[in-house]
Amino acid sequence: MPHILIDNLKDFSFPLKISEVEFLFKAEHLIAVKTNISKFFIEIKKKQKGYLIKYDKITRPLISEIKKAYLAFVKLNDANIVFENISGIKEKLPDKNLLDIADDLNKTDIVEIGFGSGRHLLHLAKKYPDKNILGIEIHKPSIEQVLKRIEQEKIKNIKIINHDARIILSKIPSNSLHSIYVHFPVPWDKKPHRRVINENFLEEAQRVLQKNGFLHLRTDSENYFSYSLKEFLNFKNAQIEIKKNIPYEIISKYEQRWINQGKNIYDLYLFCLEESPQINQDFDFSFEKKLKNIDFEPKIYDNFVIHFEKIFKIDENNELIKATIGNFNKPEHIYIVNNKKPYYFKPPAPVKDNFLAHIKLKRLFDG
Ligand SMILES: C[S@@+](CC[C@H](N)C(=O)[O-])C[C@H]1O[C@@H](n2cnc3c(N)ncnc32)[C@H](O)[C@@H]1O
């Protein structure tokens, strides 16, 4: 982790600005930093030989911005650097085909979830040259490998996002997808709550699919197949198609392994029969009132959580609250500056479960 050790620390009143780096406020050992492209906290820790400066993992900025902030902080304190590990670090620019959760996903036509080695994702791009394909994957090495292939093969219609698919669908407009593919998902027999396919996910899948659009599950797990069929049948009107051991257009790495072992392969198609209402995706993450009675007990609501973790004092009237909110399976750490008109130091990712948690938070704020 990039850090520096400095020999001197001055006492300041914030805000302060050094070239393009603004130091906004101090909340105990955290200092809020703003550069032209990033907003994050640096942390100060007293050590025997000086002061250790690190960045706060939750507000994780680009390394170039950390370097800038550290160097400005050294200048501000008239300090000498006793130790640093930042000079050799090279910034890797984000790939143009790699999207962020805050990016617009409105132009997506086809989604593949958990694309792994990407054989099927690349196949889709060739099969549907006029459609925009979004690959959602949580495994970073797979993402890097597939991004390389996209670059090498000059593929123009694939974008990738590194996130949990169960959260991403809420960012896609209603009735917009031609198809969703979930091929050989991890069966999670012992931890079924981790499965991609669940009730909430299917509701979102139905909402984002066009009329006659489909969700395709292909799996070697009889257990996952039966579980998914049951979930599919929970819809009042469901058109379902089942196939067993029927060869598919392309064989993925996983499939090859199961074929070699002589396992059965199941296909399950869920067709969308009707149009869904549009939903408002302009999530407004603003507050009006200061939070008064903070309860540190974690709260679990339908599909989201709110957990206040810690409060850091800024001054007599203001405090910084560290909390976890959002999707039960993948909540997000956030900071709220709790003053007369509170605000997120960095707003949560614009997805439905964060917004639902925000609405609940607002109610708590209103007492
Ligand atoms: C067994 S592999 C199958 C890969 C590929 N579809 C194939 O057929 O070769 C399952 C993949 O799903 C990804 N995955 C698991 N849970 C996920 C989630 N919630 N969101 C996105 N990807 C997920 C894993 O990282 C893994 O790459």
Would the CB of 166 count as within 6 Å of ligand 1? Answer: yes
Q: Quick check: 313 and 327 in contact, CB under 8 A? A: no
The atom of ligand 1 lying closest to the CA of 218 is 8
Alpha-carbon distance of 115 to 135, in angstroms, equals 7
Note the pLDDT tens digit of each residue in 336-347. 999 999 999 999
The answer to whether 161 touches 134, Cβ cutoff 8 Å, is yes
Ligand 1 site-directed mutation target among 112, 121, 139, 267, most atoms within 8 Å of CB: 139
Q: 367 pLDDT exceeds 60? A: no
| Domains recognised in the chain with CATH numbers | 4-84 (no CATH), 98-271 (3.40.50.150), 299-365 (no CATH)
- Is ligand 1 within 6 A of the CB of residue 171? no
What percentage of the chain reaches a pLDDT higher than 70?
Answer: 98
Residue 298: partners with Cβ closer than 8 Å, 6 or more residues away: 305, 306, 307, 324
pLDDT tens for each residue of 233-292: 998 888 999 999 999 999 988 898 888 898 999 999 999 999 999 988 888 999 988 888
Give the residue whose CA is nearest to atom 27 of ligand 1. 116
Q: Assess whether the C-beta atom of 124 lies below 6 angstroms from ligand 1.
A: no
Q: Which residue has the tokens 């607002």?
A: 362
- 0.95 surpassed by pTM: no
How far apart CA 302 and CA 352 sit, in angstroms, is 12
Strands (E), the chain: 4-6, 16-18, 21-27, 30-34, 39-47, 50-55, 81-84, 98-99, 110-113, 133-137, 158-162, 177-183, 209-219, 239-244, 266-271, 299-300, 304-313, 319-327, 332-338, 343-344
Which of the four pLDDT bands, split at 50, 70 and 90, describes residue 366?
Answer: low
Give the list of residues 6+ apart from residue 221 with CB closer than 8 angstroms, or none: 187, 189
Ligand 1 neighbourhood includes 184 CB (under 6 angstroms): yes
DSSP string, 95-126: PTTEEPTTS--TT--EEEES-TT-HHHHHHHH
Ligand 1 neighbourhood includes 115 CB (under 6 angstroms): yes
State residue 292's pLDDT score. 83
At residue 237, the pLDDT reads 87
Could you give the CA distance from residue 315 to residue 274 in angstroms, rounded to a whole number?
55
